[in-house]
Amino acid sequence: MDPGAIVREAVVEIIQDDIIRGRFKAAIFDFDGTISLIRAGWQDVMYPYFVDVLAETPHHEGREALEEVVREFVDLLTGKQTIYQCIQLVEEVKKRGGVPLTPLEYKHEYLRRLWERIEHRVHGLEDGSIEQETMLVPGAVELLMRLRSKGLTLYLASGTDEPYVLHEAAVLGVAEFFDGGIYGALDRYEDFSKEKVIREIIASHRLAGEELLGFGDGYVEIENVKSVGGYAVGVASDEIHRAGINEWKRERLIGAGADLIIPDYGRLPQLIDYLFPEEQASRKQGR
């Protein structure tokens, strides 16, 4: 199959077809946009907030130009801890002659604004007025169940602050699947990164690179998985409509080195058959 070919019936885009598959012993997942949709639309909070901050500096450009600046660095850093976007905001304020707050102060204000947007989702999940399924990437629970049934140890690593990730994974009913652990951003941001978690997984399980499977909707986790020789599934999810491919994500994921692109986990049998080809072959022989 040609690289980049799209199997439309299975909604799977195979980017690299010559990578070893099926030997996986552990899998690592990003959270927001890969499992959870609780924070869908976070960009609509961060973009205007950061633009407003830059618009108050002495030597700022027009709002349209500032929007382009903010989108560029926010998108580039998506997947890393939120603090890194705030660190860059500090630099942008300085460039324009302003006196910035600390990165942590910007982060806390962003989280306050984001909470105003998502509070009803979290409370709705807590009291049962919102069904868990509506706040999950389609097919996520079924995929986690299948991977656990195959004996894989599952990990969750997110750029969102760890207390939020732990709570949101719990109210979504997926925390129990991640027997390897759930990791999130820390105020001491130097103590956490997805790269560190991945390298610890490799070391603790004594894995060969091809034994690690990764799922993510951002370039950071894709690059980190590929850097250790793992297999990376890019989840180009449309977080608002819960259906179809987000083309912007798709392009970024391919650029980061994703081996496979999917919109979600809705066509699970096809996805499992592709990731575990020996199982598919064995099933066919048994017919």
- Bridging pattern class, strands 260-262 and 12-14: antiparallel
State the sign of the Cα–Cα–Cα–Cα dihedral 236, 237, 240, 246: positive
Give residue-wise pLDDT tens across range 83-115. Answer: 999 999 999 999 999 999 999 999 999 999 999
Record the pTM. 0.89
Tokens of 287: 């017919």
Model confidence at 5, in pLDDT bands (50, 70, 90)? very low
Average pLDDT of the chain is: 92
Residues 6+ apart with CB under 8 A from 177: 141, 144, 145, 148, 154
Tokens of 91: 């630099």
> Does residue 146 have a pLDDT over 50?
yes
Going along the chain from its start, the domains and CATH numbers come out as 6-37+136-285 (3.40.50.1000), 43-127 (no CATH)
**Distance from the Cα of residue 167 to its chain's centroid:** 17
d(CA 241, CA 157): 24
